[in-house]
Amino acid sequence: MDLIAEITIAFCLVVSGIFGLVGSFGLIRLDQPMQRLHAPTKATTLGVGGALVASMLWFAVFGEGFSFHELLITLFLFLTAPVTAFFIAKAHLHTSVDRAELPPTGTAHDWSVFEDPGDPELPGEPRR
């Protein structure tokens, strides 16, 4: 039982290290800021999540029992990282990108970051 647990924990740590390395490499090597935003929010989040899963397994098998601390940290990380990336991307669009540089949306409306589409029940009226 101990050997299987050790192999599983080692596998989780190796996979999380690979995700962390890929996320860090993507943060350095990608050209545009919006591309660089995906590396830490996707790959590095999975890397930290894998390390936390390995920690949960270690404490459950070899430690004093299962702990909910790592589970709560993982939940907090997976909930806050996408929201933070969304706000950073929105701030970047407002400060660094001209509307003319954006591709067409394919609808009658502009990008939702720049235009409020209004209430669907009241066409042409902006939301308040």
List, for residues 48-90, the tens digit of each pLDDT value.
889 999 999 999 999 888 888 888 998 898 888 888 888 888 8
40 in helix, strand or coil? helix
**Are the beta carbons of 70 and 55 closer than 8 angstroms?**
yes
Nearest CA to 45 out of 72, 14, 67, 24 is that of 24
Q: Report, as an integer, the average pLDDT of 78-104.
A: 82
Minimum mean pLDDT range among 28-42, 46-60, 109-123: 109-123
**Are the beta carbons of 45 and 14 closer than 8 angstroms?**
no
Q: What ranges do the domains of the chain cover?
A: 2-97
Tell me which of 86 and 125 has the higher pLDDT.
Answer: 86
What sections of the chain are H helices per DSSP? 2-29, 33-38, 45-61, 69-96
**What pTM value is reported for the model?**
0.69
CA distance 70 to 72: 5
pLDDT class of 11 with cuts at 50, 70, 90 = very high
**Are the beta carbons of 14 and 31 closer than 8 angstroms?**
no
